[in-house]
Every structure is written in structure tokens, then in C-alpha cells.
Amino acid sequence: MVKIDAKIPEGPLADKWKNYKNNQKLVNPANKRKLDIIVVGTGLAGASAAASFGEMGFNVKTFTIQDSPRRAHSIAAQGGINAAKNYPNDGDSIYRLFYDTVKGGDYRAREANVHRLAEVSNSIIDQCVAQGVPFAREYGGLLDNRSFGGAQVSRTFYAKGQTGQQLLLGAYQALMRQVNEGNVELHTRNEMVEIVMVDGKARGIISRNLVTGKLERHFAHAVVLATGGYGNTFFLSTNAMGSNGSAAMKAYKKGAMFANPCFAQIHPTCIPVHGEFQSKLTLMSESLRNDGRIWVPKKKEDAEAIRAGKLKPTEIAEEDRDYYLERRYPAFGNLVPRDVASRAAKERCDAGFGVGTTGLAVYLDFKSAIDRLGRDAIEARYGNLFQMYEKIVDDNPYETPMMIYPAIHYTMGGIWVDYELQTSVPGLFAAGEANFSDHGANRLGASALMQGLADGYFVLPYTIQNYLADDIATPRMTTEEKEFEEAENAAKGRFEKLMSINGEKSVDSLHKELGLVMWDFVGMARNKEGLQEAIEKIQAIKKEFWSNVRIPGSTGGMNVELEKASRLADFIEIGELMARDALHREESCGGHFREEYQTEEGEALRQDDKFAYSGCWAYKGEDQEPELNKEELTFDVVKLVQRNYK
């Protein structure tokens, strides 16, 4: 086991970031021009970082697998972005935002990082407003705020139900401005397939042009991965179809540790699965739980009749309904945190009370809200969501209760980074959802956007300078060097190997098999036996994949199946890593629920004496067990307590 140094600056918590900035090394403007940075991914973190680097004068190359940087999945975030502005004068502060985030993360995040996040949160709002992000405003012309789960204050800024879209477009536009000025070179439909290491440092990437199929070599003094999360390991998730964990896996195999892979967030209000050909799950905003009441039938025979289509939910009498969240958690009711609401839904469905044709759904009923507030008020609040639901399900939620079920939504785990967002590979940085840093075991609503932009606008521009200051004498390397050639050959060999399998099964069919194993054993509730079984099953899928996958076409030109296969190969390894991490973490915390570790009432039970650390997995070679390293978490400011929502 290696000793992990997170490089947390000295001083009291509130001064650490200031101290860091005061003492870090800088690069002068003339030298910035001589330094190249590669940014992989153009979501909130990637686009904001690349734009900021370009503005500072670095030479930037940025890569996206989509046809435009604006397609990154940050665009789909609905709710909002948190900041400690305290505009509503309701008692918010940087400390409270910090505290809520650490607590919401079930005490598995690094205090110093989270405090920095809270500190820069206000600058993010200023920056976005200056860019022309059309946040919601009040009649007086000032910014509006709303409340979100896990907080007692209103600190969430929003732009209709499309906050992620607007923030991403702001960052995208800043990025395109730098492209126009020649500071950023944009590579679209271009996927990083290998990291190039020279003398132990990340010095470039090999990428695959997804249109021509050609491999390209790119040098840089430092590489930033802002490639998002790995939720698609489950096949069905709220992630975009192209979201993948391959960049993270490439980094992992070059020596970057992967931290807390088992911390995956399950969102309680998604539209349920309807059939085996379903490709993706659609999230319905968490805000619906403000007015919707969640229930299932009290009698099993009613649930069975509903599943058989013989009974309608509206025909079930009030006294025959089980509003199980209100019953179990009288204090928070339907507004319990995401993980609690998700597990409660699964518990009811597993017990045979689920509805929908599959029995894997619960009702989210707006009838009492409509009776109380009127249909117009509900339409004003949720009209667009109701319409979206009706388009997908063909059911009118004003008349029939909505059906919802939990789905994988976000991964808190990711590439391990130190305080500077540098991975365990020198010169390789990770930002946004791709890193593991700020959310601990559970992410609060409206915090993902905050973290992505904090990393890109206000953290990396400082910390990467501190690294590059030592590199000003390093000249640009030609990509003819043997390290580039070796890396390209490795990537080429991998693609050729995939093409040569020529088996019977499609990539998607294998991915679905993996997804089912993940959902059944590494999903909302996990246990030792199940996780052990999952590892075996995943290894079997891996064997099946490498011997029986079928990829039509060739490596030349556009080949979507080859792209998917390459990503699935990595998902399989991430899946195994998730299962291993979940198996080793013998406690329940945040998004990780081990059935063996729960209170008598069925609530998550942490084991702080044994597991108050981040589990950091190091790659030890093909078919070798990875090595677990621990970054102990010390809490100087926050006191650890059991979460209680009763």
C-alpha cells in the first residue's frame, strides 16, 4: 500500500485555498505561450477549463466525442446550481454550503476540497451572469433562488428547467471565443484512446478520429481529463448514450488511482423501464416531490390487478393506498434524500407491491396538490415535465398518477485527485464528475454543476500553473518520439484485437447483460454474497466479450459499433472495480447501501471507525487484482453524526 498525499495546504480550513494561491508558483505570459495543455471532454468542467486556459495564454487542444462541444451531457442537468450568495437573506454562508455538502455526502469527502468548492461557488454565479446566462429573475430584476433537497436555505440559482444547458452554453461560448482567437484548437468527433507517458509524466494523448477512423498523436505539457462519470456501466441510466468511463480507465491503467468506484447515485424519480429494448432512462426533476405524493397499493391483490391491467390506480380507495415515505419518515415525508427515497421504492416493489406492467414502479400522485392548489398552479410549476412525461408514457399525469422508479444518475467515485486536482500520474489532471473529489458518498442536488464549473473556472487555472511552472524549460516534443509510437501501437493493437474477435453477440446485448448484473447486485442494495457473485458474473461477461463480440465494418472510417465495443470493454472493468469496492466497504453510506449494515429501521449505518477513508484502487496489470490504498479522511471542523430524516 502506498502512502497517499493529498497535498492539502496548511492553515485553518477557511484559509487553505487563500494560502495556496498566495504561495503557488505562476507562469509568466511569455512562457504560457510555450506551454501546451490538452483538455479531454467539453462539458462544464472541460469547456470552462479550456476556455480559461486559453484566456490565460496557454496553447490548448480540446477533444470531444460529439459533433460539437455543446452536446456534452452537462447540458441535461435540469434543476440548478448552488452558491452561497445568501441573496435571500436566509442565513446561508460559505460555511453552511460546505457543511451541507459534507453532511449530504455522508462524511466521505475531503473537507479542504469541499470548503474550497463553497468558497468559489459565488464567483461561478458572477461569471455566468457576466457571460449572459439567462438565470431566472424576480420582478425587481435581481436573481431568483429556490430550495433543493438536503438544505434548509434557498441557494439554488436556475434557468427554467434547463440550468445545465444554459451554464454549458455559457462555457461553450467562452470556449468558442478562444477557438476564434486561435488559443484553443477544437477536435470534434475525436476520442482519446490512450495517454502518452514520457519519463513518468503525462505528455500527450492518442486519439481516434471518429469520422476517418485514423489514430492521431497529440503532445501537451499537461493533460486534463474532464470526461464525466461512468453511470452507463449499468447500461440503463439517465446518462447520455455516449457517456462513458473509458478515459478514466485509460488513466487508471497508466497509474492513476480510481477512488470510491462504488459510490453511485440512484435518482428516485425516473420514468420506469418499459421493455427490453429500452435504451435509456429519463429523469423527472426532483422538484416533483415537492407536490407529488408517493404511494403503492396497500393490498398485494390490488397491485397484482394493476399489473394485469384489470384495475386503474384512480380506482383504489384512499384507505387502500400506502404512502410509504410519509409513513416511514413523518418529518421529511416525500422529501427524504435521493438514496433514502430510492431504497424505499425498491423495498416496496421487491415486496410485491410494485405497479406498472413490470411491477417495478411506484406512483407519484398529484391529485391532492391539484385539489389544494388547482390544476393551473400545478401546470405553472411542472407543465413542461408533465408534457415530457405524457410524450414518453402516453398517460396524462393530471388525471392518472405518474409512475416512477429509481435509476442510476451520477457517479461520485472517479479518478483520485489531490487538492490540486492532479491524479496520481504527474501532469494528468481530472475535473468534474470524472474525478472523485467533492461529493463523498452522495451528491446533493444542484451541486454537480457547481463542482464542474468550480474545477474548470476557478481551481484548475491556478493549480495547473503550479505544475507547469516547473515545465517552462521543457520544449514541445515531436510526436515522432518512441513513446507516442508505442502508445499509438497499443491503441491500434487493441482496436485490431476487437475487430478480430468476429463472434456472435452484439455489443449492446453484452452491455445489457452487464447492466443487469450491475443493477441486481451492485445497485441500490448490496450484500457480500451478491457482490461476490457479481464479480464472477462480470468476469464471465468479460471472457464472453473478448471471445464472442461481433463488430461489423472495419477500423477505417466511421464505425459506431467499434466505438461502443471499445467503451464496453472499459465498462466491464469498471463494473468489476465497483463490485470490488462495494464488497470491501463493509458499511452503508450515501449511495452505497450494504444490507448487512443497517439500523433496525432499515437505515444506512456507517462504520466511521473502519471506513472513514477514500478507497483508492491501483491497477496492477491485466487479470491481476487491483491494490487498495486508503486516503484517510480527517474531519477537523465537521462532527460526524448519523443522518436522520425521521
Partner 1 sequence: MENTINIKLKVWRQAGPKAKGRFETFELKNISTDSSFLEMLDILNEQLINKGEEPVAFDHDCREGICGMCSLYINGRPHGPDDDVTTCQLHMRKFKDGQTITIEPWRSAGFPVIKDLIVDRGAFDKIIAAGGYVSVNTGGVPDANALPIPKPNADEAMDAASCIGCGACVAACKNGSAMLFVSAKVSQLALLPQGKVEGARRAKNMVAKMDELGFGNCTNTGACEVECPKGISLANIARLNREFLSAKAQD
Q: Which is nearer to partner 1, 263 or 458 (CB)?
A: 458
Q: Which is nearer to partner 1, 106 or 191 (CB)?
A: 191
Cβ atoms of 42 and 64 within 8 Å: the answer is yes
Q: Which is nearer to partner 1, 123 or 527 (CB)?
A: 123
Q: Which is nearer to partner 1, 180 or 478 (CB)?
A: 180
> At how many degrees (to 10) do helices 94-104 and 111-131 cross?
120
Closest contact distance (angstroms) between CB of 510 and partner 1 is 12
Under 8 Å CB-to-CB from 408, ≥6 apart: which residues?
Answer: 231, 234, 236, 237, 238, 239, 264, 265, 266, 267, 281, 519, 523
Closest contact distance (angstroms) between CB of 128 and partner 1 is 8
Under 8 Å CB-to-CB from 388, ≥6 apart: which residues?
Answer: 282, 284
Q: Where are the alpha helices (DSSP H) in 187-286?
A: 246-253
Could you say which DSSP state residue 497 is in? H
Closest contact distance (angstroms) between CB of 310 and partner 1 is 10
Closest contact distance (angstroms) between CB of 569 and partner 1 is 17
Under 8 Å CB-to-CB from 358, ≥6 apart: which residues?
Answer: 272, 273, 274, 307
Closest contact distance (angstroms) between CB of 312 and partner 1 is 13
Cell numbers found for residue 72: 456534452
Closest contact distance (angstroms) between CB of 600 and partner 1 is 39
Cell numbers found for residue 17: 485555498
Closest contact distance (angstroms) between CB of 170 and partner 1 is 8
> Does the CA dihedral 465-470-473-479 come out positive or negative?
negative
Cell numbers found for residue 280: 435509456
- Grid coordinates 416533483 are at which residue? 288
Cβ atoms of 289 and 381 within 8 Å: the answer is no
User: What's the chain's Rg over C-alpha atoms?
Assistant: 24
Q: Which is nearer to partner 1, 324 or 458 (CB)?
A: 458
Could you say which DSSP state residue 322 is in? E
Closest contact distance (angstroms) between CB of 283 and partner 1 is 7
Q: Which is nearer to partner 1, 396 or 599 (CB)?
A: 396
- The torsion region of residue 544 among left (phi > 0), alpha (psi -120 to 50) and beta comes to alpha
Q: Which is nearer to partner 1, 2 or 392 (CB)?
A: 392
CA distance 573 to 250: 11
Q: Which is nearer to partner 1, 113 or 145 (CB)?
A: 145
Closest contact distance (angstroms) between CB of 55 and partner 1 is 4
Closest contact distance (angstroms) between CB of 82 and partner 1 is 14
348 is catalytic: no
Q: What is the full DSSP assignment across 2-57? A: PPP---PPSS-GGGHHHHHHHHS----HHHHTT-EEEEE--SHHHHHHHHHHHHHT
CA distance 245 to 256: 14
Query: Which residue in the list 307, 338, 526, 606 is annotated as catalytic?
Result: 338
Closest contact distance (angstroms) between CB of 52 and partner 1 is 4
CA distance 458 to 544: 45
Cβ atoms of 429 and 224 within 8 Å: the answer is yes
CA distance 25 to 85: 30
Q: What are the distances in angstroms from CA 151 to CA 84, 97, 103, 147, 528?
A: 12, 8, 10, 7, 33
Question: Helix, strand, or coil here: 119?
Answer: helix
Q: Minimal CA–CA distance to 171: which of 562, 408, 453, 508?
A: 453
Q: Where are the alpha helices (DSSP H) in 282-332?
A: 300-307, 324-328
Q: Which is nearer to partner 1, 70 or 108 (CB)?
A: 70
- The torsion region of residue 11 among left (phi > 0), alpha (psi -120 to 50) and beta comes to left
Q: Cα angle vertex 317, ends 316, 322, to 5°?
A: 80
Q: Which is nearer to partner 1, 46 or 242 (CB)?
A: 242
Q: Which is nearer to partner 1, 71 or 606 (CB)?
A: 71
Q: Minimal CA–CA distance to 598: which of 539, 590, 606?
A: 606
Looking only at the bridges linking them, the beta strands covering 362-365 and 293-297 are: antiparallel
Q: Which is nearer to partner 1, 390 or 481 (CB)?
A: 390
Cell numbers found for residue 123: 464567483
Phi and psi at residue 13, to the nearest 5°: -50, -45
Closest contact distance (angstroms) between CB of 265 and partner 1 is 17
CA distance 243 to 434: 11
Cβ atoms of 423 and 415 within 8 Å: the answer is yes
Residues acting as catalytic residues: 338
